[in-house]
Chains A and B, each alone.
Chain A
Amino acid sequence: MSWAKRLDPLWPLASIASFAEVGSRAGWWEAYLFPAPSMVVACLWEDRAEFGGAFAETLFAASLGWGIALAAGTLLALTLSLSDRVERAFRPYAVFFQTVPVVAIAPLLVIWFGFGRPTVVAAAAIVSVFPVLAAGFAGLRSASAALTDYFRLRRAGRLATLFKLRIPSAVPQLLTGARIAAGLAVIGAVVGEFVGGGGLGGVVDAATAQQRVDKVFAAVLLSTLLGFGLVSIVDAARERLLSRWLRS
């Protein structure tokens, strides 16, 4: 993609931010209900030390939770897909558990894991593991029928089929799962921080108590950037892995 094309997504952002800035300054709505973007930027700068620390904390917890989800989700999908029967039995639950509202179970996580980072990492891992698992299941079944027949004709064993056919075919779907999981891990971490303390979630919590809407928005902005960063990692990996895959 050319640089000009890469910059296209900035147009909507610039338009909306300008509208919000003008509307806020002209008094179309009260700044304490919806702040001007310039207020949010000023707040980010003023409290940069606090935001920097909180961002690093959330980054660490979300990444760790995401990593756990990737490893656990992939492993589970692999293990369960070794037997058709086991897979049939567990597959619906992988989809079912995707709908668990982490907000509802967050207070329980504090009871199980205690205040602080373990709860935050757990919340991030729990919400992000099921998309990986579901994508893994789907991916492991996505090998083309022709190739599957070919493997059968050559009397390939179960493990050989798994490693040489099913896993390679699953990579695109697994990457999609990882991409969804990346965004969810950040949401999970922030929710975990609401109950467990610390990070950007903690900043939002305290800013709400102080009626600092600008600070709430600043923290939200940072957490979306964090999610965007993790998603970009997957996109970069996809470009590398899949282009190589297609060449071979």
Chain B
Amino acid sequence: MIRFALGIAMALGIVGGAEAASKDAKAPVEKGAASPLAPVKLALNWKPEAEFGGFYEAERAGHYAKAGFKVEILPGGVGTPVVQMIAAGQTDFGIVSASEIVLARSRGADVVGVFSVYQDSPHAILVHESRGFKSLADVFRSEGTLAIEMGSPMALHMEKKYAPVKVKRVPYAGGISHFLRDATHSQQGFVTSESLLAAQQGAKVKSFLVKDSGYNPYLVLVAVKGELWRKEPEKVKAFLRATREGWKAFNAAPAPANAIMRKLNPTIDEKTFAESAVVQRPFVENEFTKAKGLGAMTRERWAELIAQLKDLGSLKVSDQVKPEECFTNEAL
């Protein structure tokens, strides 16, 4: 209902518009700075967790300030319509998934991906070890319940691949409380987060990476409105340079940013925050990023995603979405 109400409100531009107006009016001016910092908004699609560490680090260590920005990081939750917020100009930068960009573009929204935090998707299906599952196919072809974002390309992909599906799919509301309570319950999550949390809380958990099923879109992707990128490329570039510095620093020493995020999201303990940063590193840095830099993307991956979305029916075959329109590495 919250998600629904928010969706409608966002669709009408009420919530964000009013909020933006009131916040702009009270935009903080840094004392003692040579020139006042430009206020910029970054909308997250989830609560402060490891996958956003680099952004909090960039703000904490002053990389954003050095680039001339005062960044307001807005945490999100289940169903925060970040892609619509970007398209409607209610936030300058937003965190989305690659599939959201493709779908938004097919519906006429001009949103462009400019920096992908994750090179590989850390999405996983968490199951109880006691079920004895050996693969994702076992999860989908067995009895029990599976909490998954219904209708999402990830869900559609696996439902198609592992048909005939026997497991009962139920709505995913975030968190792991159901998982901890019910031994026949499986759920989606990040190996960098929910898997660790569940283990921390005593569950014998086994995680199957969704990317092994062949669905591996860019995730935790910084996106902007196409207009912003075309009109103010320097602003986008400066923001991303600072973001990249933030991520380098976070990967090297996550503790300071973790402390900030822990205050904002006390549901995750210190140990899990520390573990998350370590577990997620190979998803953020790999051979490709060593050559091309953190956040870089390839046209092939985008083309593959578009083909998959068409195959799943999320995208009509007639939809003209070109991979090169969905993203750019030029802002890096």
Partner-B contacts on A (CB < 8 A):
30-34, 102-103, 106-107, 110-111, 115-116, 190-191, 194-197, 202, 204-211, 213, 216, 220
Contacts and interface: CB of A to CB of B under 8 A. Distances in A.
A204 B11 CA distance: 14
Q: Please indicate which of the listed interface residues B12, B100, B104, B151 has the most CB atoms of chain A within 10 Å of its own CB.
A: B151
B323 interface: no
Contacts, number: 86
B3 A111 contact: no
B7 A205 contact: no
Nearest to B10: A33
| Chain B binding surface, main DSSP class | mixed
A199 to B, nearest CB: 11
Contact of B171 (A30, A103, A196): A196
B103 A111 contact: no
A182 B300 CA distance: 53
Interface of B: 1-4, 7-8, 11-13, 79, 81, 83-84, 87-88, 100, 103-104, 107-109, 145, 149-152, 168-171, 173, 177-178, 181, 314
Contact of B108 (A30, A202, A216): A30
Given A33-B11, A115-B168, A190-B1, A208 B79 contact: yes
A103 B2 contact: yes
8 contacts: A32-B109, A33-B11, A33-B88, A194-B171, A208-B81, A209-B149, A210-B103, A211-B84
A194 B151 contact: no
A213 B107 CA distance: 10
Closest 8 A-B residue pairs measured CB to CB? Answer: A206-B151, A32-B107, A115-B170, A209-B151, A103-B1, A206-B150, A191-B1, A209-B152
Contacts of B173: 107, 110, 195
A121 to B, nearest CB: 16
B9 to A, nearest CB: 11
A197 B1 contact: no
Contacts of A106: 1
B76 to A, nearest CB: 14
Contacts of A216: 4, 7-8
Contacts of B107: 31-32, 211, 213
A196 B170 CA distance: 7
Contacts of A31: 107-108
A32 B87 contact: yes
Given A32-B84, A115-B168, A194-B171, A205 B11 contact: no
A115 B182 CA distance: 12
A31 B107 CA distance: 8
Contacts of A220: 8
A152 to B, nearest CB: 49
